Amino acid sequence: MPSEPGQWMAQQHRAGRRVCLILEGHQDARQRLLSVRQLSQYCSLYAETALFELAAAGPVIVLVEQADEPGLVDLLQRPEANWGWLGSLPDDDLAGVVRHWRERLLVGHPGSQALYRFHDNRTLARALTHLQSEHRPVLLGPLISVCYWHEGRWCQSENPMPGEYPVPVPAPWLNTPNPQAEVILHANILRYLLTQHSEKLAGLVEFQDPRIWLAQVIERARAWQWRSPQQLEFLVVRRLEEATQGSAIRWLPIEGEAPGEHFERVLREWRSLGKKHE
């Protein structure tokens, strides 16, 4: 089995296939690749979706020929930068594969959708590691083979039945465990607090480690089943205010109170307290 992308690309070309690059970020490499291609040879994956305003900075899919092409060389030499991955197609028509991934880009119900970062090689690797073999075609669609960097080495996976598939509900790849999810969540929340609530965070630092405090707040959210971004943001910000300024909010759930009812009651109480202090 080829272990390097150049060998993998050569194998795909010998089989009569075309190779595409899924690329996120890395604007220099992106510009070098797109500047020498016709419009039919690349496509923004965010265009014509709800994320169209981010199309210029979002991931692109690009047809590539040789591993030594300027723009591609630097990417292949720095796979730890997690810029994306490679896939093979039966021909040079990108329409089918673009449609396939756009259908898998946003998950959840309208109004509370989240982005599924399939263009990140780490996300793809986790999905392929944990998916049962019968679910791989539904994830990979028209792609015949994929080549990606995972845990310090190049890997490749084959699609046993390339083709067009509707998105199943629930999508099996959304249950893939992410060992870094908790670390990422904590880092993102602390970054948000540092940007939006820096004074209160500085006040907390004077008497408590923010990381320990945040771990306790997130554990409380988990126990109360407050899972939505709105609920988590409310809990974190209000508990930060409470830690640094004091509060009279009655946080604990009432016996028999459902998680949603619990959140709405606390939210109403917080709003009522705010009006009293106006």
Q: Does the pLDDT of residue 3 top 90, yes or no? A: no
pLDDT digits (tens, 9 = 90+) for 166-187: 999 889 998 876 656 667 778 8
pLDDT digits (tens, 9 = 90+) for 211-220: 889 988 988 8
DSSP 70-138: TTHHHHHH-GGG--EEEEEESSS--HHHHHHHHTTTEESSTTS-EE--TTSHHHHHHHHHHS-GGGHHH
| 97: amino acid identity, one letter | V
CB 155 within 8 A of CB 161: no
> Can you give the pLDDT at residue 261?
94
Q: Higher-confidence residue: 81 or 277?
A: 81
| 3-class secondary structure per residue, 151-197 | CCEEEEEECCCCCCCCCCCCCHHHHCCCCCHHHHHHHHHHHHHHHHC
Q: Taking all residues of the chain, what is their mean pLDDT, rounded to a whole number?
A: 89
Tokens in use for 252?
A: 């604990």
The answer to which of 27-41, 146-160, 178-192 has the lowest mean pLDDT is 178-192
> Can you give the pLDDT at residue 179?
57
pTM over 0.85: no
pLDDT digits (tens, 9 = 90+) for 16-37: 999 999 999 888 899 999 999 9
The answer to which of 215-219, 226-230, 246-250 has the lowest mean pLDDT is 246-250
